[in-house]
Structure 1
Amino acid sequence: MAGYFAIFLVLLTLASGLVWLLDALVLAPKRQQRLVLAQSSAGGDLPANVSEQLVKEPQLVETAKSIFPVIALITIFRSFIYEPFQIPSGSMMPTLLVGDFILVEKFSYDVKDPVWRKTLYSNNKPQRGDVAVFKYPEQPTVDYIKRVIGLPGDRVIYRNKQLFIEKACNGDNAASCGKLEMVALQLKNEGEFYQEQYAQRRYTEQLGTVAHDILQTPARREHTEFFFKQHGTAIDEFVVPDGHYFVLGDNRDNSRDGRFWGFVPEHNMVGKAVFIWMSFEFNEDPNSWLPGWIPTGVRFDRLGAIH
């Protein structure tokens, strides 16, 4: 949906801009010529209301000139700087909740045009621990948000709800690569969140220098039979191809992520989620007369940077 809206904004910007340009180069001079001819025919004494009518802009031109600057600024801001998104599911709990409205920094990674998504400027690469928005590989018109776990060349294992990473060997981490390391977890609490009737455990997970919270549901087994099958690896092992990334949801037992469909091509990356600018609570009681889409409160304590 976000992709279609981006195309709509670009088309509206182009259309209003072209109408403005056509008026400036063709229509406005013609209106001025009609005014000069009318003044000449009237001996230079033309009523003011008639003069105004002759040079008056058509309604379409007036509308285009009024909306073009605003639409152009919105298109530029949304396409290349920050884009707003709403969190529709609980797959990134507790980091992001349903009802959170976030800003995604578009220039964190490669800057792309909003229609064909061709790279206009190569910037930074996604980093381990980033909360990234990307085009879902199985349906590129849909935007997904997950956390970057594996970088190109990494070997990632998710076994018995524990994450292991063997970093790829390159110039940046030559000293620490080639060894499978368990990602540290520290239990914070249990029972703050539930998946169906099952209590979840909240851990702080340490991905290098990035500390963030995740949820696990001990009572739910891992559905390894549905995991993405990569040739030459174990069912719970993933070797990240060059130019791709491996992502997971922070709500580990309630997220359809890279474990089930594979890897995110670098081209699919949209940007890095950096800020929660609004967070609404919604009524979850199925017996309530209030529709579920109507906010019942604002979670001001959630506003701020995303980690």
Structure 2
Amino acid sequence: MNPLTDFSFILALMFAITGAIWLLNIIWRLLEKYVTTVSQIGETRRRLKGVVEFSKVFFLLMLIVYAFALQSFRIPSGSMLPTLEIGDFILVNQYQYAIRIPILNKKVIDVNEPDYGDVMVFRFPKDETENYIKRVVGLPGDSVVYENKKISINGQLVAQNVVGDYVIESGPNRKTQTKLLSVSLESGESYQILHDERQNSRTFIF
């Protein structure tokens, strides 16, 4: 995993551990109240008072962050290789582009506009219960051409930085397309997005 996905996994793990400690503290209190024969329970809990208090604060803070600011995802496929590997955990800022009312998901005010290279998580248009992750390659008004694994934006070839070698396994009947798309994006809120692993990737305009 890369540092970002390692960090998000550690946060999720700490969230689970501190929640478990808080729950254990509640159980200890119940035992102290109803089980008089267990004499060492109170002493043990007093020794761990600092850990318990830290766990309470951390658990509540992370609960608020996860509920209203960040959302964690696990990468299920190799579509974003080599940037994101299968099984990586990532944290997504839910308010990167707009402030929304929690739960209702109603936009209140715009904050930022998507830019070239942004990695976005979005709901699949045909099935909103399924999340997709892709990278922004085209902005409103752009003319995007993807041919022979190369991207041109407004007639300019986009340079690609190779970060490493990797192997993609595909089915025996899968055909490789040399020219995938040529599209002009309308002005307004139209964005072209692709996977990093573009040989076997689908593209979306939204």
**Is TM more than 0.5 here?**
yes
| 1:111 to partner: Cα distance | 2.1
TM-score, normalisation: structure 2 = 0.62
Aligned residues: 147
Cα contact 1:90–1:254 (8 A) shared by 2: no
Deviations 1:207-228 (A, max 9, x none): xxxxxxxxxxxx962176xx6x
Query: Which 4+ residue blocks in structure 1 deviate beyond 4 angstroms?
Result: 69-75, 186-189
- Equivalent in 173, 193, 198 of residue 247 of structure 1: 193
Secondary structure at 2:167 match in 1 = strand
For 1:112, give the aligned amino acid. Answer: R
Q: Which is greater in Rg?
A: 1
What runs of 5+ residues in structure 1 fail to find an aligned partner?
1-68, 167-179, 199-218, 228-235, 265-307
TM-score, normalisation: structure 1 = 0.43
Secondary structure at 1:77 match in 2 = helix
| 1:79 to partner: Cα distance | 4.2
Distance 1:162 1:220 in 2: 18
Cα contact 1:80–1:112 (8 A) shared by 2: no
Cα contact 1:152–1:244 (8 A) shared by 2: yes
Distance 2:116 2:202 in 1: 19
- Equivalent in 144, 152, 157 of residue 182 of structure 1: 157
Q: Cα–Cα, structure 1 residues 185 and 70, in superposed 2: closer, same or farther, change >3 Å?
A: closer
| 1:71 to partner: Cα distance | 8.8
Secondary structure at 2:95 match in 1 = helix
What runs of 5+ residues in structure 2 fail to find an aligned partner?
1-56
Partner of 2:119: 131
Partner of 1:121: 109
Q: Cα–Cα, structure 1 residues 126 and 187, in superposed 2: closer, same or farther, change >3 Å?
A: closer
For 1:243, give the aligned amino acid. Answer: E
For 1:239, give the aligned amino acid. Answer: S
Aligned CA RMSD, in angstroms, stands at 2.8
Distance 1:97 1:220 in 2: 24
Distance 1:126 1:142 in 2: 21
Deviations 1:101-149 (A, max 9, x none): 0111122111223433210232111111011111222222221110011
For 1:184, give the aligned amino acid. Answer: A
Secondary structure at 1:244 match in 2 = coil
- Equivalent in 87, 95, 103 of residue 91 of structure 2: 103
Instruction: Give the share of equivalent positions with the same residue, in percent.
Output: 38
Secondary structure at 2:90 match in 1 = strand
Partner of 1:144: 132
Q: Which runs of structure 2 are paired with 1:248-267 in the superposition (5 Å)? A: 248-258=194-204, 263-264=205-206
For 2:146, give the aligned amino acid. Answer: Y
Distance 2:201 2:139 in 1: 20
Q: 2:167 matched to 1:221?
A: no
Partner of 1:46: none
Secondary structure at 2:66 match in 1 = helix
Q: 2:166 matched to 1:193?
A: yes
Distance 1:141 1:186 in 2: 33
User: Quick check: which one's strand share is greater?
Assistant: 1
| 1:182 to partner: Cα distance | 0.6
Deviations 1:179-209 (A, max 9, x none): x1011135566xx3112279xxxxxxxxxxx
